[in-house]
Amino acid sequence: MSHEHTLGPDRARPATAPGDVSPVEVIVVSREGVRERTDWVAVEEPLEIRARGPGQQPVSVAVTMRTPGNDPELAVGFLYTEGLLTSLDDLVTARECAPKSRPSACNVVQVVLSRPFDGSSLQRNFFATSSCGVCGKATLDQITVRSPPVAPGPVVGRSTLVALPDALRRAQTAFDRTGGLHAAGLFDPDGRLLILREDVGRHNALDKLVGRALLDGELPLAERILLVSGRTSFEILQKAAVAAVPIVCAVSAPSSLAVSVADRLGITLVGFLRGPSFNVYTHPERIDPHG
């Protein structure tokens, strides 16, 4: 078995692609007047994820709008969090497919499995935008969380949690240039950043992170803390639950459904993690407020 997509040892910094940011000319209007300058924006392009088993023709599974970079991780993580890939043993390769006419324009990843790929559960292709990863699901049944309650996991002190956002922000390379990317960071119980991934879509950033962990043989993530920028939606909690993350934190608010999923699956959900304070919405037993 060969897992052809690997990265260097510094997983706490996302691998960047030549097209992850793009220059644009802007007119800046301020109290000091009007001026022109070059700015940088995050690139948003479609990625098609295809999968096949031995001797099968590839099946188009999903099209997601993403920021280029770590695309095989994104494909593997997406298939895993959607229940279409169950373990590293299922995976043979995850390879980018670039057109011969434009070798730098690679917007397709083909995932080859060691077992037959069953796409019968796909009533139609997924289509996920950067702002809503579940908009294209055909029925609500397709987004039912497919995982048992998470393991007890670690107990984390307040001082560790409040330091996480700054650690995440310091490692965000593309955000420094654009100000327009979401991030997902995986931490150990001592607050050490282990994996960081960035994308225009927060669900894509998390899929890239889960894909990296799967390729490294580190799932389930039963002793880890997840921090996402922005808010926590149902889908973020679904993906975290499939990866068995016991503590999910965000710098903004959760949705009502995210709180319900976290409560039902035993996940500690932390929101508004900013400065010295935060809110604990579910399962506070993993948080030491005096630690």
Q: Are 225 and 188 in contact (CB under 8 A)?
A: yes
CA distances from 153 to 146, 213, 247, 285 (A): 19, 17, 8, 10
The one catalytic residue in 97, 106, 132, 249 is 132
Contact 194, 103 (CB under 8 A): no
Query: Does the annotation count 106 as an active-site position?
Result: no
The span from the first CA to the last CA of the chain, in angstroms, equals: 45
Active site residues: 132
